[in-house]
Amino acid sequence: AQSVTQPDIHITVSEGASLELRCNYSYGATPYLFWYVQSPGQGLQLLLKYFSGDTLVQGIKGFEAEFKRSQSSFNLRKPSVHWSDAAEYFCAVGGDGNKLVFGAGTILRVKS
Amino acid sequence: GAGVSQTPSNKVTEKGKYVELRCDPISGHTALYWYRQSLGQGPEFLIYFQGTGAADDSGLPNDRFFAVRPEGSVSTLKIQRTERGDSAVYLCASSLIRNTGELFFGEGSRLTVL
């Protein structure tokens, strides 16, 4: 069965510092992987996705993620965090892009 | 507004009552999804429509839950004989092209069953 684990429930970083959010998945075949962000009062928004090819994918808002098959991971990174990045981040896996399985989310707090 | 619209944004009901939640997808999006998000959890898949038909309803928890999309646009999620455990945020999403994973989500309908 597909599953996604986001080990960190909360993360706090200083504005301007780098960020890495962890995501591990379990999937029987080549997965489709996604990161979504949920800000208060807004719907989930797609940050980036991996289907195949280059394992380092670039997304919106300066985010990137790296697919590592050997570690079953798809960690999200950003070199310099802005206060507006404070939100909840969800990693998701899907075989056909439709029936996504989401992790429990990581709440990012940014301190000034 | 060009986004996915969900109504009501908040619904409080009593145990045993019937509830309908509406989703108006982005115009032209043929695929529509319902997810449920419980407190402290990620969204959980309920059902997926391609056009008017339910292509995958394997996530519906039991037969008290039903969803329709009669004209291939607006969808309604129907919950009969609500239980306290049904309390959650119900999310609707739509997408233009199947199999891309790029879902456009609404803000959700928060259901509270007392």
In DSSP notation, B3-72 reads: S-EEE-SEEEE-TT--EEEEEE--TT--EEEEEEE-TTS--EEEEEEETTEEEE-TT--STTEEEE-TTS
B33 interaction partners in chain A (CB closer than 8 Å): 98
Q: Specify the pLDDT at position A99.
A: 81
Residue B106 clears pLDDT 60, i.e. is over it: yes
Q: Specify the pLDDT at position B96.
A: 82
Residue B43 clears pLDDT 90, i.e. is over it: yes
**A40 compared with B21, residue with greater pLDDT:** B21
Test A44 with B103 for CB contact under 8 angstroms. Answer: yes
Cis geometry, peptide bond prior to residue B8 (ω within 30 degrees of 0): yes
Q: Specify the pLDDT at position B2.
A: 80
Q: What is the DSSP letter of A108?
A: E
The overall average pLDDT reported for chain B is: 93
What is the C-alpha separation between A73 and B22, in angstroms, rounded?
36
What is chain A's length?
112
Test B48 with A49 for CB contact under 8 angstroms. Answer: no
Q: What is the CA radius of gyration of chain B?
A: 13
Residue B99 clears pLDDT 70, i.e. is over it: no
Strand-pair partners of B34: B47, B92
Q: Specify the pLDDT at position B1.
A: 54
Interface of A with B in 32-71 (CB under 8 A): 32, 34, 36, 41-46, 49, 51
What is the C-alpha separation between A38 and B17, in angstroms, rounded?
30
The chain B residues in contact with chain A (CB within 8 A) are 3-4, 31, 33, 35, 40-45, 48, 55-56, 58-59, 91, 93, 98-108
Of B43, B99, B105, nearest to A98 by CB-CB distance is B99
Residue A25 clears pLDDT 70, i.e. is over it: yes
DSSP, collapsed to helix, strand or coil, labels residue A102 as strand
Residue of A nearest to B49 (CA): A98
Task: Give residue-wise pLDDT tens across range A81-106.
Answer: 999 999 999 999 987 656 889 999 99
Which residues does B21 contact at the CB level (< 8 Å), separation at least 6? B6, B7, B8, B11, B76, B77, B78, B79, B90, B92, B109, B111
Distances (CA, A) of A35 to A25, A40, A63, A65, B13: 12, 17, 10, 8, 33
Residue B73 clears pLDDT 60, i.e. is over it: yes
Interface test with A, best of B4, B44, B103 (most A CBs within 10 A): B103
Q: Specify the pLDDT at position B63.
A: 95
Q: Specify the pLDDT at position A75.
A: 98
Question: Looking at CA atoms only, how far is residue A23 from chain B in angstroms?
Answer: 13
Specify the range with the lowest mean pLDDT, choosing from A15-19, A21-25, A95-99, B28-32.
A95-99
Which residues does B95 contact at the CB level (< 8 Å), separation at least 6? B29, B31, B33, B102, B103, B104
